[in-house]
């Protein structure tokens, strides 16, 4: 071994800086606590998923039980944004973000659930017809687009520091989501994976893997709709 290699060997074994460990532990703590708060706010839905063996067959019932997911996601997104600013006070940040966006996030989620329910009924109606196989992909794509726009609107609500008018944001969100379709497709895949894990193992999925997957989807869609963020939120994202 050359003298230079011997001199560099101790550096490779040198432990990481204390700030790195603190950042790692803070990230894990925020993720786990966010999962717990999501589980508490979505407890009725989780209880039903644990009892009912075939949730897909009872989808209207679960569509209604999913309504608290909108405000819960707003609270989780507030925790993700707070983590980027170095805050680990998960309970306070979640509560503030939840209360600030609860009514509008619930309205947005309810509208998305209603739209997707209509599309699901349309799929069931046209599937047996002659044109069914050609129309089903259209309805599936529209359902994914609706839920992506709903998810994006909740991202914007979580970043807003005050009241937000939803109607002027719908078309810009739709445009940005369609414009960067590749990032939208990534978010849809990540959210689909999260839903699949929760359907298979409700408590395990929500308590362990929910936050990492939601964080990926949140960060991706937050980048997609960056032009619509408030100046303060946009500054935080650039930082």
Task: Give residue-wise pLDDT tens across range 167-204.
Answer: 888 999 999 999 999 999 999 999 999 888 887 877 77
pLDDT at 230: 59
Domain ranges of the chain: 16-238
64 CB-near residues (< 8 Å, 6+ apart): 113
- How many CB atoms within 10 Å of residue 133? 10
- How many CB atoms within 10 Å of residue 143? 19
* Contact (CB, 8 A) for 230 and 169: no
* Contact (CB, 8 A) for 226 and 237: yes
Task: Give the C-alpha distances (Å, rounded to integers) separating 212 from 34, 76, 77, 152, 174.
Answer: 10, 11, 12, 17, 25
Q: How far apart are CA 216 and CA 200, in angstroms?
A: 21
DSSP 164: -
> Residue 88: is its pLDDT beyond 50?
yes
pLDDT at 130: 73
Q: Where are the alpha helices (DSSP H) in 17-131?
A: 18-41, 43-51, 59-65, 69-84, 90-126
Q: How far apart are CA 177 and CA 173, in angstroms?
A: 6
Greatest mean pLDDT among 83-87, 131-135, 216-220: 216-220
CA dihedral 19, 23, 26, 30 (to 10 degrees): 160
pLDDT at 200: 81
Q: What is the mean pLDDT of residues 225-230?
A: 82
pLDDT at 216: 94
Read off the pLDDT band of 95 (50, 70, 90). Answer: very high
> Residue 15: is its pLDDT beyond 50?
yes
- How many CB atoms within 10 Å of residue 23? 14
Q: What is the mean pLDDT of residues 205-217?
A: 86
pLDDT at 11: 52
Q: Which residue has the higher pLDDT, 14 or 163?
A: 163
Helix (H, G, I), strand (E, B) or coil at 7: helix
* Contact (CB, 8 A) for 139 and 122: yes
229 CB-near residues (< 8 Å, 6+ apart): 156, 159, 222, 237
> Residue 5: is its pLDDT beyond 70?
no
**In terms of Cα–Cα distance, which of 117, 114, 116 is closest to 106?**
114
Q: How far apart are CA 38 and CA 60, in angstroms?
A: 22
């Amino acid at each position: 071994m050359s003298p230079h290699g011997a001199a560099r060997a101790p550096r490779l074994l040198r432990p990481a800086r204390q700030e790195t460990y603190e950042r790692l532990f803070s990230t894990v703590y925020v993720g786990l606590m966010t999962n717990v708060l999501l589980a508490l706010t979505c407890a009725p839905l989780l209880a039903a998923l644990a009892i009912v063996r075939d949730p897909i067959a009872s989808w209207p019932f679960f569509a209604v039980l999913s309504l608290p997911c909108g405000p819960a996601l707003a609270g989780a997104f507030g925790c993700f944004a707070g983590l980027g600013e170095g805050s680990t006070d998960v309970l306070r940040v979640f509560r503030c973000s939840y209360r600030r966006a609860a009514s509008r996030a619930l309205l947005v989620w309810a509208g998305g659930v209603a739209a997707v329910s209509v599309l699901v009924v349309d799929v069931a109606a046209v599937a047996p017809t002659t044109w069914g196989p050609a129309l089903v992909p259209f309805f599936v794509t529209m359902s994914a687009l609706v839920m992506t726009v709903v998810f994006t609107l909740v991202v914007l609500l979580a970043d807003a520091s005050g009241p937000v008018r939803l109607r002027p944001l719908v078309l810009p969100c739709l445009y940005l989501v369609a414009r960067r379709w590749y990032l939208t497709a990534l978010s849809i895949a990540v959210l689909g994976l999260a839903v699949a894990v929760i359907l298979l193992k409700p408590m395990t999925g929500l308590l362990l893997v929910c936050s990492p997957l939601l964080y990926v989807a949140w960060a991706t869609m937050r980048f997609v709709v960056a032009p619509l963020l408030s100046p303060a939120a946009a500054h935080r994202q650039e930082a």
